[in-house]
């Protein structure tokens, strides 16, 4: 049996580590694919939900084409005869103007202050939104917004003011669409006319007038920067209430303008150093101009056929504001003088009289001043145009004109003795002279100068009331004219306005034209509208008649009942009037340029007392006013 030889085992190398079984290899690319896939899914879902949200919101989105028809409510502006603004009527105080009618600094200032990247972004500025979000996050509150000028236009014109995410989303969509629809200048034009700038001013033209009493075209760089600082918080940066804050905000705007290259640093510093000349807060001067402007507004509404507060019209009037102020002062002084007379006489004051005054430029029939009472704010009832009171002896010149037209002369004789006239009801009427004295046979000139009632009634008896009616209608009287002799003594209820206008033929060339308050109206679309002009009517065609009437009316002021105005330089004629029981006092007179009428009386028709007449009460007011008017 053979024996197998076995080799001894080889010694193991104990220094060598045992080989580890390799772990299964991870599939890293598969995980990356999964993450990428999940991200894509999330993005697609976001895009889908965003698109769905966009679609749902778009279904209820305003039509942006309306912004191309930008016609906001505009203020109607009323101007005086010298082109100065006397009143603005509005629901929103706005005057729309093109960019060309603005200071070139204005658009630049607002862009620098509100939307520095306005000319670069497509209506939405994501950089500004991110910057504002980071700033708000750091502050822990919403202290900055990221709205562009285009977004502000969208919000102002197309959206409601509530603060919701849906409205903000709509605002962004609309801003993007508007940017595609309009040019940058068109967007800026809307923005600058729409923006609210405090103190009731909408748009930069209204703001320029409110704060600086000038047009937007005349604003300096410093003033533009002040206005551009207002949109963020008009109350906080109010130029009237918080000028220090407004100036700090102005500095920020000027620095932004310099940084954006709109102005040089030197120009910005010079603008910051400007002296700020603010226009004081104004209240409507209703007491001074109120009565006149109410008549203007009534006529303008008839012409424009709509509400003035939203019409955006420019109304140019014939008002002379200095003469208007003088007229109001004269009426107030005259009424106070009458009260003083009663107080000094120890008479009981049962009522405080009112007064009115009308001044017409004779050659043009333009009404330069009209006062309907002592205070429009306390009593807006217009006693110059609305009150109808007996004309008294101021009606007599029309009786005498009718007589001269029939061949009488100023030196013709007329009987001024007591008379008694039987009325239709069987009762007799005995007209008495104001002084209680009668003059017997007298001339027409003396009868008018001394306002003799008996002589005037006899004159009308002889010429007939129908001839007087004809003259009265020609000079504009629309009231009922009595078909009897009482008309000779002014038994016709007239307004001071129509009575004053009726005297313009005596003061002028014998023709009559309706008095005018408005010279022209420019509608919002630029159409020029003129009030309907009445034709001139020849009332006194005969030169001899005209000459005699002027001579007789001059006699009234040089030696008759109107002698209190004789010292007024240039006075040419006039006539006093006093109604029964001294209820109304009148004086109408004229110089070479103006025909002016004055009335004083009580609203409830009480007597003013037997010492108050046309010559003592109304004529001094006329004198006071005409002396002041001549100094202008």
SS3 of residue 588 by DSSP: strand
Residue 557, C-beta contacts closer than 8 angstroms, at least 6 positions apart: 563, 565, 566, 571, 573, 574, 589
For residue 121, name the pLDDT band (cuts at 50, 70, 90).
Answer: very high
Residue 576: is its pLDDT beyond 90? yes
For residue 171, name the pLDDT band (cuts at 50, 70, 90).
Answer: confident
Strand ranges in 220-302 using DSSP code E only, listed in sequence order: none
pLDDT at 3: 45
Residue 15, C-beta contacts closer than 8 angstroms, at least 6 positions apart: none
Lowest mean pLDDT among 172-181, 284-293, 310-319: 284-293
Q: Which residue has the higher pLDDT, 111 or 131?
A: 111
SS3 of residue 50 by DSSP: helix
Q: Tokens standing for 376?
A: 């429009």
Residue 401: is its pLDDT beyond 70? yes
pLDDT at 619: 98
Please, are residues 556 and 572 in contact by the beta-carbon 8 Å criterion?
A: no
Tell me the CA end-to-end span of the chain in Å, nearest whole number. Answer: 164
Residue 18: is its pLDDT beyond 90? no
Q: Which residue has the higher pLDDT, 184 or 350?
A: 184
Question: For residue range 470-481, what is the model confidence (pLDDT) as tens digits?
Answer: 999 999 999 999
Distances (CA, A) of 346 to 342, 382, 498, 583, 613: 6, 31, 36, 19, 18
pLDDT at 1: 43
Q: Tokens standing for 315?
A: 């109304």
SS3 of residue 512 by DSSP: strand
Residue 537: is its pLDDT beyond 50? yes
Ordered DSSP codes for 331-376:
HHHHHHHHHHHHHHTT----S--EEEEEEEETTTTEEEEEE-SS-T
Q: How many CA atoms lie within 13 A of 481 on its CB side?
A: 17
- Quick one: average pLDDT of 288-303? 96
CA distance 195 to 349: 56
pLDDT at 134: 58
Beta pairing partners, 530: none
pLDDT at 281: 74
What is the phi/psi pair of residue 494, to 5°?
Answer: -125, 160
pLDDT at 411: 98
- Quick one: average pLDDT of 583-595? 97
* Tokens 């005037």 sit on residue: 456
- Quick one: average pLDDT of 352-360? 97
pLDDT at 94: 95
Please, are residues 300 and 530 in contact by the beta-carbon 8 Å criterion?
A: no
What percentage of the chain reaches a pLDDT higher than 90?
72
Residue 334: is its pLDDT beyond 70? yes
Radius of gyration of the chain (CA): 42
Q: How many CB atoms lie within 10 A of CB 486?
A: 18
CA distance 583 to 288: 26
CA distance 565 to 346: 27
* Residue of 87, 114, 205, 223 with catalytic role: 114
Residue 359: is its pLDDT beyond 80? yes
pLDDT at 85: 93
pLDDT at 610: 86
Q: Tokens standing for 94?
A: 């706005």
Question: Structural domains in the chain?
Answer: 102-272 (1.10.3810.10), 388-493 (3.40.710.10)
Residue 167, C-beta contacts closer than 8 angstroms, at least 6 positions apart: 159, 160
SS3 of residue 256 by DSSP: helix
pLDDT at 144: 45
Q: How many CB atoms lie within 10 A of CB 266?
A: 9
Q: Which residue has the higher pLDDT, 144 or 49?
A: 49
- Quick one: average pLDDT of 274-287? 79
pLDDT at 27: 52
Lowest mean pLDDT among 47-61, 226-240, 343-357, 453-467: 47-61
Note the residue count of the chain.
632
Query: Is 266 considered catalytic here?
Result: no
Residue 548: is its pLDDT beyond 60? yes
Residue of 205, 206, 258, 252 whose CA lies nearest to 229: 252
pLDDT at 23: 54
CA distance 94 to 96: 6
CA distance 140 to 160: 27
User: What is the rounded average pLDDT for all residues in the chain?
Assistant: 89
Question: For residue range 510-536, what is the model confidence (pLDDT) as tens digits?
Answer: 999 999 999 999 999 999 998 877 788
- Quick one: average pLDDT of 578-599? 97
Q: Which residue has the higher pLDDT, 52 or 559?
A: 559
Beta pairing partners, 62: none
Q: Which residue has the higher pLDDT, 58 or 322?
A: 322
Q: Are strands 428-429 and 594-601 parallel, antiparallel or unpaired?
A: unpaired
CA distance 396 to 418: 18
* Residue of 128, 147, 356, 393 with catalytic role: 393
Residue 289, classified by CB atoms within 10 Å of its CB into exposed (0-12), middle (13-18) or buried (19+), is buried
CA distance 288 to 163: 45
Angle at 185 between CA 168 and CA 274, to 5 degrees: 95
Lowest mean pLDDT among 20-29, 104-113, 516-525: 20-29
Ordered DSSP codes for 214-239:
S-GGG--HHHHHHHHTSTT-TTTT-T
Q: What does the DSSP 8-state code read for residue 568?
A: S
Residue 63: is its pLDDT beyond 90? no
Q: How many CB atoms lie within 10 A of CB 34?
A: 10
For residue 172, name the pLDDT band (cuts at 50, 70, 90).
Answer: confident
Q: What does the DSSP 8-state code read for residue 292?
A: H
Q: What share of the chain is helix, strand, coil (3-state, %, to 5)?
A: 45, 15, 40
- Quick one: average pLDDT of 175-201? 95
pLDDT at 42: 80
CA distance 62 to 76: 29
pLDDT at 143: 41
Residue 7: is its pLDDT beyond 70? no
Residue 428, classified by CB atoms within 10 Å of its CB into exposed (0-12), middle (13-18) or buried (19+), is exposed
Helices H / strands E in the chain, number of each: 20, 18
- Quick one: average pLDDT of 50-60? 58
Question: For residue range 76-105, what is the model confidence (pLDDT) as tens digits?
Answer: 999 999 999 999 999 999 999 999 999 999
pLDDT at 611: 87
What is the phi/psi pair of residue 260, to 5°?
Answer: -85, 0
Please, are residues 583 and 601 in contact by the beta-carbon 8 Å criterion?
A: yes
Residue 252: is its pLDDT beyond 70? yes
Residue 343: is its pLDDT beyond 90? no
Query: Is 417 considered catalytic here?
Result: no
- SS3 per-residue string spanning 98-153: CHHHCCCHHHHHHHHHHCCCCCCCCCCCHHHHHHHHHHHHHHCCCCCCCCCHHHHH
pLDDT at 441: 97
Please, are residues 102 and 207 in contact by the beta-carbon 8 Å criterion?
A: no
- Quick one: average pLDDT of 174-182? 91
Lowest mean pLDDT among 71-80, 533-542, 578-587, 588-597: 533-542
Lowest mean pLDDT among 205-214, 282-291, 323-332, 565-574: 282-291
């Amino acid at each position: 049996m053979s024996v197998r030889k076995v080799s001894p085992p080889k010694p193991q190398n104990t220094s060598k580590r045992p080989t580890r079984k390799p772990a299964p290899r991870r599939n890293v690319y598969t995980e990356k694919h999964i993450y990428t896939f999940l991200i894509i899914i999330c993005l697609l879902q976001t895009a889908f939900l965003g698109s769905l949200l966009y679609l749902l919101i778009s279904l209820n989105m305003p039509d942006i084409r309306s912004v191309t028809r930008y016609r906001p409510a505009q203020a109607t502006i009323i101007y005086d005869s010298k082109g100065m603004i006397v009143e603005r009527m509005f629901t929103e105080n706005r005057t729309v103007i093109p960019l060309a009618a603005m200071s070139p600094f204005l658009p630049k200032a607002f862009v620098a202050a509100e939307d520095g990247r306005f000319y670069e972004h497509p209506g939405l500025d994501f950089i500004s939104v991110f910057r504002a979000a980071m700033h708000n996050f750091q502050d822990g509150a919403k202290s900055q917004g990221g709205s562009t000028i285009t977004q502000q236009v969208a919000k102002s014109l197309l959206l409601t003011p509530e603060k919701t995410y849906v409205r903000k989303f709509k605002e962004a969509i609309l801003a993007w669409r508007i940017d595609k629809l309009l040019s940058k200048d068109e967007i800026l034009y809307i923005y600058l006319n729409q923006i609210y700038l405090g103190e009731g001013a909408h748009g930069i033209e209204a703001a320029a007038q409110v704060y600086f009493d000038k047009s937007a075209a005349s604003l300096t760089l410093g003033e533009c920067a002040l206005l551009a600082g207002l949109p963020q918080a008009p109350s906080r940066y109010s130029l009237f209430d918080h000028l220090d804050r407004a100036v700090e905000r102005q500095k920020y705007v000027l620095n932004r303008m310099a940084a954006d290259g709109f102005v040089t640093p030197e120009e910005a510093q010079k603008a910051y150093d400007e002296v700020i000349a603010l226009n004081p807060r104004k209240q409507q001067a209703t007491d001074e101009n109120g009565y006149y402007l109410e008549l203007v507004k009534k006529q303008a509404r008839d012409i424009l056929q709509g509400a003035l507060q939203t019409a955006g019209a420019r109304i140019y009037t014939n008002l002379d504001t200095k003469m208007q102020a003088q007229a109001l002062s004269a009426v107030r002084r005259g009424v106070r003088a009458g009260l003083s007379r009663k107080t000094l006489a120890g008479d009981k004051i049962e009522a405080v009289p009112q007064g009115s005054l009308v001044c017409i430029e004779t050659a043009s029939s333009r009404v330069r001043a009209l006062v309907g009472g002592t205070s429009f704010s306390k009593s807006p009832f217009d006693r110059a145009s609305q009150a109808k009171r007996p004309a008294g002896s101021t009606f007599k010149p029309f009786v005498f004109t009718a007589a001269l037209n029939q061949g009488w002369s100023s030196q013709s004789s007329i009987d001024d003795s007591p008379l008694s006239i039987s009325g239709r009801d069987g009762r007799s009427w005995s007209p008495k002279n104001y002084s209680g004295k009668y003059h017997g046979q007298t001339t027409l000139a003396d009868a008018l100068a001394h306002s003799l009632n008996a002589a005037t009634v006899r004159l009308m008896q002889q010429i007939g009331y129908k001839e007087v009616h004809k003259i009265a209608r020609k000079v504009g009287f629309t009231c009922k004219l009595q078909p009897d002799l009482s008309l000779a003594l002014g038994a016709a209820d007239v307004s001071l306005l129509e009575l004053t206008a009726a005297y313009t033929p005596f003061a002028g060339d014998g023709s009559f034209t309706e008095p005018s308050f408005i010279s022209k109206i420019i509608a919002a679309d630029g159409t020029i509208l003129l009030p309907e002009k009445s034709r001139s009517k020849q009332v006194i065609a005969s030169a001899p008649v005209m000459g005699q009437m002027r001579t007789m009316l001059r006699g009234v002021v040089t030696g008759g009942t109107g002698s209190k105005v004789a010292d007024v330089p240039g006075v040419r004629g006039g006539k006093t009037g006093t109604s029964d029981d001294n209820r109304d006092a009148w004086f109408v007179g004229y110089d070479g340029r103006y025909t002016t009428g004055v009335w004083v009386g009580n609203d409830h028709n009480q007597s003013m007392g037997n010492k108050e007449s046309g010559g003592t009460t109304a004529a001094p007011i006329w004198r006071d006013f005409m002396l002041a008017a001549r100094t202008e």
